[in-house]
Structure 1
Amino acid sequence: MFKNGLIKDIADFYDLTVDQLKILPGLGNKSANNLITEIHRKKTLFLDRLIYGLGIRQVGQETAATIANFLAHRLANTSRKASPEEIFAVGRAITTEEWQTLSDIGPKVAEALFNWFHDDYNYDLLRRLGRQGVTAVWEKKLASQTLSGKTFVLTGRLNSLTRAQAEARIKQAGGQVSSQVSRQTDYLVVGADPGSKLVKAKNLGIKIINEAELLALLS
Structure 2
Amino acid sequence: MFTGIIEEIGQVTSLQTTSNGKRLTVTCQRVLEGTQLGDSIAVNGVCITVVTLTPTSFQGDVMEVTLRKSNLKNLQVGSKVHLERALNLQTRLGGHMVSGHIDTVIQVSRIQDRQGQFYMTLLIPPGYRKYMIPQGSICLDGVSLTIADLTESHVTVSLIPESKKRTNFTHLRVGDFINLECDLIGKYVENMVKDQEGNSLADYIKYGF
TM-score (ref. length: structure 1): 0.29
Larger Rg: 1
Higher relative contact order (Cα pairs below 8 Å, separated by 6+ residues): 2
More helix by share: 1
More strand by share: 2
